[in-house]
Amino acid sequence: MFCGTPSIPGAIRPPTVEQPRFNRLAIVALALGIVGGALALVFGHIAMAQIRRSGERGMSMARGGTILGYMWLGIELIIVLSIVSSGRG
Quickly list DSSP for the chain: ---SS-SSTT--PPPP-PPPPBPHHHHHHHHHHHHT-THHHHHHHHHHHHHHHH--B-HHHHHHHHHHHHHHHHHHHHHHHHHHHHH--
Q: What is the structure's pLDDT at 13?
A: 75
**Residues of the chain above pLDDT 90, percent:** 69
What are the CA-CA distances from residue 71 to residues 3, 5, 35, 39 (Å)?
A: 47, 53, 12, 11
pLDDT of 75 strictly over 80: yes
Q: What is the structure's pLDDT at 78?
A: 95
Question: What Rg value do the Cα atoms of the chain yield, rounded?
Answer: 22
**Residues of the chain above pLDDT 70, percent:** 90
Global confidence as pTM: 0.74
